[in-house]
Amino acid sequence: MIRIGLVGCGHIGTVHAVALQQLTDAGLVDARLTATFDDDPGRAAKVARHQGGEPYDTLGGLLDEVDAVWVCTWTAAHLAAVEAAADRGLPIFCEKPLAPDLDTATSVAAALERVPHQVGLVLRWAPVFRNLADAVASGEYGRVLAAVMRDDQYFPVQGLYGSTWRGDERLAGGGTVIEHSIHDVDVLRWTLGDPVEVSARTASRFGYPGIEDTAAATFAFADGSVAQLTSVWHQVLSRESSRRLEVFCEKALLWTDDDYLGPLHVETDDGERLIESEPPGWSSSFTLPAVYAKALAQYAEPSKAFLDSLSRVETRAGPQASAVGHPRAADALSAHRLVDLVYRSAADGGAPKSVR
């Protein structure tokens, strides 16, 4: 059995803990959450009490007693936790973003590449985006002309998220672009390829210095196509998180306003059809109401895949163990480079920045 240590027991850490607990209790993985650590001992104790494991007073103490680590701290604490786990040869699941700035993200990625790892860019596991990426790659609908992504969420220092750190630039690195829309940047790059130029404008109007709550970015591609991203943190507390993606091809419009199951709408000369998706069949084994089981599957599926991969290799990184995990640190680092260009362009009044 793989003994899992959870480092960081806030909102996203708790979500992962529940997902891991459900996977274990349903007999879907040969793994169990056995240890928790957080700078706030009370949070580590709470997760351990409800989702299993023993709370530890120090990161080193936890790392000495586990076979794999889930790093779910605030962004600025990822580097220390990842390097400490990698020094012990432990497989690592690291939440996004990797770090608050590109230089530190490069260091985190380098540490992750030393061991089996996976990064929490979970939209790559969403069936609706897999269907969209497959449709674009097939060439059936001709060349991509333009894409439009809108991402909005209420400012996450309140409500369900209740973040204690997302309003602090030192801990988060920025606001809606790096904290939320790094997912969107990754999806656009995955679906459309690497852009050649980035331009952007950002604004911060809710009183958190260095934490942008509004951003508009344009990504230009070598073939003449463009993608536009609008990312907003607002104060409409009834809207927790919402995304809409439209991709205009020569022969079709593909769009979705759901970032997990869709459906994906495909409109052509022949009319509109829907590509439906279902959550993994095994999620019906979760002991949660169906609506929560569906939401949790978005996190449980990538975690299960990572644990399944680890179960086929030595949990202490063997010679071939680095082949497991998706997305990898390199994928996350590519998204970080584009996010960095968004911020650089915005700081320069929206001037275009070349992707090198």
At residue 321 the predicted structure's pLDDT band, cuts being 50, 70 and 90, is very low
The CATH number of 124-279+336-354 is which of 3.30.360.10, 3.40.190.10, 3.40.50.720, 3.80.30.20? Answer: 3.30.360.10
Q: What is the pLDDT at residue 287?
A: 93
Asked if 35 contacts 62 with a C-beta cutoff of 8 angstroms, the reply is yes
Q: How far apart are CA 58 and CA 43, in angstroms?
A: 13
Q: Which range (2-11, 282-291, 316-325, 331-340) has the least confidence?
A: 316-325
At residue 323 the predicted structure's pLDDT band, cuts being 50, 70 and 90, is low
SS3 call for 171? helix
User: 220 has which bridge partners?
Assistant: 197, 226
Residues 226-243: what's their mean pLDDT?
96
At residue 290 the predicted structure's pLDDT band, cuts being 50, 70 and 90, is confident
The residue type found at 35 is: A
pLDDT digits (tens, 9 = 90+) for 7-25: 999 999 999 999 999 999 9
Q: How far apart are CA 179 and CA 211, in angstroms?
A: 10
At residue 313 the predicted structure's pLDDT band, cuts being 50, 70 and 90, is low
The model's pTM is 0.95
Q: Which residues have a Cβ under 8 Å from the Cβ of 224 and sit 6 or more positions away?
A: none
At residue 318 the predicted structure's pLDDT band, cuts being 50, 70 and 90, is very low
263: cis peptide before it, omega within 30°? Answer: yes
Reading the block at residue 218, the tokens are 């344009």
Q: How far apart are CA 61 and CA 7, in angstroms?
A: 11
CATH fold for the domain made of 2-120+285-327: Rossmann fold (3.40.50)
Q: What residue ranges of the chain are covered by domains with CATH 3.40.50.720?
A: 2-120+285-327
Q: How far apart are CA 77 and CA 165, in angstroms?
A: 11
Residues 329-350: what's their mean pLDDT?
98
Is 310's pLDDT higher than 70? Answer: yes
Q: How far apart are CA 181 and CA 259, in angstroms?
A: 12
Q: What residue ranges of the chain are covered by domains with CATH 3.30.360.10?
A: 124-279+336-354
Residues 324-337: what's their mean pLDDT?
94
**Residue given tokens 């260091």 in the structure block:** 107
Q: Which residues have a Cβ under 8 Å from the Cβ of 87 and sit 6 or more positions away?
A: none
Is 184's pLDDT higher than 70? Answer: yes
Q: How far apart are CA 135 and CA 140, in angstroms?
A: 7
pLDDT digits (tens, 9 = 90+) for 120-162: 999 999 999 999 999 999 999 999 999 999 999 999 999 999 9
Reading the block at residue 93, the tokens are 């699941």
